[in-house]
């Protein structure tokens, strides 16, 4: 990017840009925080038990049932709260699996000999081409429908993407002169990784993982919608949307609330990712 533009931007409105950056972070945190709060509360208090079908079918919001009830008379608010747990678990679990695996594999291929590296990265490219959703469906077909299967599947698919990113970043760092300097002064490879590589790559990787979180949540929702997710009563928001499909007009809350909550969570994580990206590299123009 032109240095003049960079200088100009630094001079023109440094305060405004910082404000825009922090708006992104604040908005993102609020969104994600809201969902996390709902999930946390759900562990301590649920309006009704999950099997309670006493509410009367498809009733609208009322004092007894803040979000109304579903087709079987179960309280919607309860299901929405449980759904928050599942969405966060799906996102978080996938990101942890994908992140850890991806970093390990990525580091490994970056250090591997040329031939091994080429082969592995070719395999990685193929795995990435293999659509996440299909991969997840395969695993679910194998292991049966459960949240854990979905998380593992999505996490595996994510690890390929993270691995490729880590590989490229690591190679870039390894090509720097200060690595050679560090090695010459006696630092062992483990030290190099810990001292130089990881600190350099983790901001970018973190931003990438934040974005993948949102994608994982959406992927799990899609799987649940298709009936391949965790079976009720631990229903995810995707499942709720599936059930409420026919009753958008008669009981709109059921068909709208889960979707809205999904959007809030995913947008929140995307905003956080954008905010983190700007923090990691303040010379970059904000892209959100």
How near is the Cβ of 44 to another protein at its closest, in Å? 28
Q: Which of 221, 235, 251, 272 binds another protein (CB under 8 A)?
A: 221
CB 8 within 8 A of CB 255: no
Residue 134 or 148 having the CB closest to another protein: 134
For residue 261, what are the CA distances in angstroms to 101, 108, 146, 203, 242? 29, 38, 21, 27, 15
Q: Which of 107, 120, 197, 266 binds another protein (CB under 8 A)?
A: 266
User: In whole angstroms, how large is the CA radius of gyration of the chain?
Assistant: 23
Residue 48 or 228 having the CB closest to another protein: 228
Backbone phi, psi, residue 271, to 5°: -65, -45
Kindly state the number of chain residues that form the binding site for another protein, as judged by CB under 8 A: 59
Interface mask (CB under 8 A) for another protein, residues 98-127, using x and -? -----------------------xxx-xx-
Q: Which of 78, 79, 236, 270 binds another protein (CB under 8 A)?
A: 270
DSSP 247: G
- Alpha-carbon gap, residue 167 to 165, rounded angstroms: 5
- Alpha-carbon gap, residue 38 to 95, rounded angstroms: 20
- Alpha-carbon gap, residue 3 to 196, rounded angstroms: 27
Q: Does 283 bind another protein (CB under 8 A)?
A: no
Q: Does 5 bind another protein (CB under 8 A)?
A: yes
Q: Which of 105, 140, 147, 235 binds another protein (CB under 8 A)?
A: 140
Residue 115 or 287 having the CB closest to another protein: 287
* Binding window for another protein (CB under 8 A); candidates: 46-54, 66-74, 194-202, 259-267: 259-267
Return the number of other C-beta atoms located less than 10 Å from residue 85's C-beta: 19
Residue 48 or 213 having the CB closest to another protein: 213
CB 135 within 8 A of CB 153: yes
Which residues, in sequence order, are CB contacts of 128 under 8 Å at separation 6+? Answer: 160, 161, 164
Q: Does 207 bind another protein (CB under 8 A)?
A: no
* Binding window for another protein (CB under 8 A); candidates: 59-67, 180-188, 191-199, 225-233: 225-233
Interface mask (CB under 8 A) for another protein, residues 144-183, using x and -? --------------------x---x--xx--x--------
- Alpha-carbon gap, residue 150 to 134, rounded angstroms: 11
Give the residue among 75, 79, 56 at the shortest CA–CA distance from 65: 75
Q: Does 285 bind another protein (CB under 8 A)?
A: yes
Interface mask (CB under 8 A) for another protein, residues 185-204, using x and -? --------------------
C-alpha 105 chain-centroid distance: 20
**Per DSSP, what are the bridge partners of residue 75?**
69
Which residues, in sequence order, are CB contacts of 149 under 8 Å at separation 6+? Answer: 136, 139, 140, 142, 143
Residues that bind another protein (CB under 8 A): 1-5, 7-8, 11-13, 15-16, 121-123, 125-126, 129-134, 137-138, 140-143, 164, 168, 171-172, 175, 214, 218, 221-222, 225-228, 238, 241, 245, 248-249, 255-256, 259, 262-263, 266-267, 270-271, 285, 287-288
């Amino acid at each position: 990017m032109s240095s003049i533009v960079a200088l100009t931007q630094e001079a023109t409105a440094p305060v405004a840009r910082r404000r825009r950056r922090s708006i992104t972070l604040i908005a993102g945190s609020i969104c994600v925080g809201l969902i996390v709060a709902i999930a946390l509360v759900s562990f301590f208090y649920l309006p009704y038990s999950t099997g309670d079908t006493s509410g009367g079918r498809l009733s609208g919001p009322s004092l007894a049932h803040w979000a109304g009830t579903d087709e079987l008379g179960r309280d919607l608010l309860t299901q929405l709260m449980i759904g928050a747990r599942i969405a966060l678990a799906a996102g978080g679990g996938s990101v942890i699996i994908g992140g850890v695996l991806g970093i390990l594999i990525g580091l490994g291929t970056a250090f591997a000999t040329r031939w091994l590296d080429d082969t592995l990265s070719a395999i990685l490219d193929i795995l990435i081409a293999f659509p996440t959703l299909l991969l997840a469906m395969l695993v679910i077909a194998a292991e049966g429908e459960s949240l854990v299967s979905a998380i593992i599947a999505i996490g595996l698919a994510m690890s390929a993407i993270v691995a490729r990113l880590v590989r490229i970043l690591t190679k870039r760092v390894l090509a720097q002169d200060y690595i050679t300097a560090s090695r010459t002064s006696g630092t062992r490879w483990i030290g190099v990784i810990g001292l130089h590589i990881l600190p350099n790559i983790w901001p970018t990787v973190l931003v990438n993982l934040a974005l993948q979180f949102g994608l994982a949540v959406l992927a799990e929702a899609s799987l649940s919608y298709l009936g391949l997710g965790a079976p009720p009563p631990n229903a995810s928001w995707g499942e709720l949307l599936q059930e409420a499909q026919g009753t958008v007009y008669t009981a709109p809350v059921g068909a709208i609330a889960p979707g809205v909550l999904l959007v809030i969570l995913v947008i929140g994580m995307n905003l956080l990712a954008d905010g983190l990206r700007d923090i990691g590299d303040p010379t970059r123009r904000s892209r959100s």
